[in-house]
Amino acid sequence: MVQITMSDGSIREIEDNSEEGLKVYRHTTSHVMAQAVKRLFPEAKLAIGPAIENGFYYDFDIDTTFTPDIIEKIEGEMKAIIKAKYPIEAFTLPRDEAVRFMEEKGEQYKIELINDLPEDAQISFYKQGEFVDLCAGPHLPDTGRVRAFKLTQVAGAYWRGNEKNKMLQRIYGVSFLDKKALTAYLEQVEEAKKRDHNKLGRELEIFTTSDVIGQGLPILLPKGTKIIQILQRFVEDEEEKRGYLRTKTPLMTKSDLYKISGHWDHYLDGMFVLGDPAKSDTEEVLALRPMTCPFQYQAYLTKTRSYRDLPLRYGETSTLFRNEASGEMHGLIRVRQFTISEGHLMCRPDQLEDEFARCLDLANFMLKTLGLYEDVSYRFSKWDPDNREKYIGTDEQWNDAQDIMRNILDHMGINYTEQAGEAAFYGPKLDIQIKNVFGKEDTLITIQVDLQLAKLFDMVYVDKDGTKKNPYIIHRTSLGCYERTLALLIEKYAGAFPAWLAPEQVRVLPIMENQSDYCAEVVKKLKDKGFRAELDDRNEKIGYRVREAQVQKIPYMLVCGDREMQEGTVSVRARKENAMKTMSLDEFIEMLTEEVDKKVIK
RNA sequence: GCCACUGUGGCUCAGGGGUAGAGCAAUUCACUCGUAAUGAAUAGGCCGUGAGUUCGAUUCUCACCAGUGGCUCCA
- This complex has an ipTM of 0.86
pLDDT classification of A193: cutoffs 50, 70, 90: confident
Count of domains observed in chain A: 4
The residue among A300 and A560 whose pLDDT is bigger is: A300
Q: At what angle are helices A395-412 and A352-370 packed, to 10 degrees?
A: 60
Neighbours of A266 (CB within 10 A): 17
Measured from the Cβ of residue A6, the count of other Cβ atoms closer than 10 Å reads 14
Cα A323 to chain centroid distance, Å, stands at: 19
Tell me what pLDDT residue A545 has: 40
Q: Of the candidates A464, A492, A520, which is a domain's last residue?
A: A492
CATH, residue A360: 3.30.930.10
| Nucleotide with the nearest C1' to A484 CA | B75
CATH number reported for the structural domain that contains residue A52 in this entry: 3.30.980.10
CA torsion A178-A183-A185-A188 (nearest 10°) is: -160
What would the pLDDT profile of A313-360 be if each residue is shown by its tens digit? Answer: 999 999 999 999 888 899 999 999 999 999 999 999 999 999 999 999
Q: Quick one: which of A160, A171, A178 has its CA closest to A72? A: A171
Residues A437 and A516 reside in one and the same domain: no
Model pTM? 0.90
Integer angstrom CA distances of residue A439 from A189, A253, A442, A486, A534: 9, 37, 10, 17, 36
Provide the CA A526 to C1' B44 distance, Å, integer. 37
Considering the domain architecture, whether residues A467 and A565 belong to the same structural domain is answered as no
Q: How confident is the model at residue A539 (pLDDT cuts 50, 70, 90)?
A: very low
Q: Is residue A602 part of a domain?
A: no
CATH of the domain at A521: 3.40.50.800
Q: How far is the CA of A327 from the C1' of B50 (A)?
A: 23
Q: With respect to residue A12, please indicate whether it lies within any of the assigned structural domains.
A: yes
Question: Which domain, by its residues, includes A278?
Answer: 252-286
Q: Give the Cα separation of A45 and A43 in Å (integer).
A: 6
C1’ B73 / CA A543, Å: 54
CA-to-C1' distance for A542 and B31, Å?
9
- Contact (CB, 8 A) for A383 and A499: no
Q: Are residues A209 and A239 in the same domain?
A: yes
State how far the Cα of A336 lies from the Cα of A100, in Å rounded to an integer.
50
Q: Which residue is nearest to nucleotide B3 (CA to C1')?
A: A156
> Of all nucleotides in the shown strands, which has a C1' nearest the CA of A563?
B34
Residue A497 placed within a domain = no
Distance A590 CA to B36 C1' (A): 30
Domain finish residue from A265, A286, A307: A286
Calculate mean pLDDT across residues A225-230. 94
Q: Is residue A265 located within the same domain as residue A313?
A: no
Average pLDDT over chain A, rounded to whole?
Answer: 88
Same domain, A298 and A277: no
Would A191 be classed as within a structural domain?
no
**Protein residue minimizing CA–C1' distance to B70:** A155
Separation in Å: B51 C1' and A221 CA? 36
In this prediction, residues A463-473 reach a mean pLDDT of 95
Cα torsion angle, A451, A453, A456, A462, sign: negative
Is residue A501 in a domain? no
A542 falls in which pLDDT band (50, 70, 90)? very low
pLDDT at residue A469 is higher than 50 = yes
Both A301 and A369 in a single domain?
yes
- Give me the pLDDT at residue A538, please: 53
Q: Do residues A260 and A241 share a domain?
A: no
Question: Average pLDDT for residues A512-526, to the nearest whole number?
Answer: 80
Highest mean pLDDT pick, A110-119, A415-424, A508-517, A556-565: A415-424
Closest nucleotide relative to residue A425's CA, C1' based: B74
Q: Which nucleotide is nearest to A210 (CA to C1')?
A: B66
Q: What is the pLDDT of residue A513?
A: 62
Q: What is the pLDDT of residue A547?
A: 46
A245, A256: one domain: no
Nucleotide nearest A214 (Cα, C1'): B66
Compute and round to an integer the Cα radius of gyration of chain A.
29
Residue A450 is assigned to a structural domain of this protein: yes
Q: Measured between alpha carbons, how far apart are the two ends of chain A, in Å?
A: 42
Q: Of A492, A516, A539, which closes a domain?
A: A492
pLDDT, tens digit (0-9, with 9 covering 90-100), for A163-183 = 888 889 999 999 998 888 888
Nucleotides of B under 7 A from a protein CB: 1-5, 7, 11-12, 26, 30-38, 48, 65-75
Do A117 and A235 belong together in one domain?
A: no
A35 with A136, same domain: the answer is yes
The rounded distance, in Å, linking the Cα atoms of A141 and A150 is 21
Distance A69 CA to B69 C1' (A): 18
Instruction: Give the sheet arrangement for strand A88-93, strand by strand.
Output: A88-93, A123-128, A131-134
Judgement on whether residues A533 and A483 belong to the same structural domain of the protein: no
Same domain? A136 vs A210: no
* Percentage of chain A exceeding pLDDT 70: 97
A363 in any annotated domain: yes
Question: What's the whole-number mean pLDDT along residues A484-507?
Answer: 91
A195 within some domain = no
Q: What pLDDT sits at residue A549?
A: 45
- As a rounded value in angstroms, the CA-to-C1' distance for A204 and B46 is 30
Query: A340: which nucleotide lies closest, measuring CA to C1'?
Result: B75
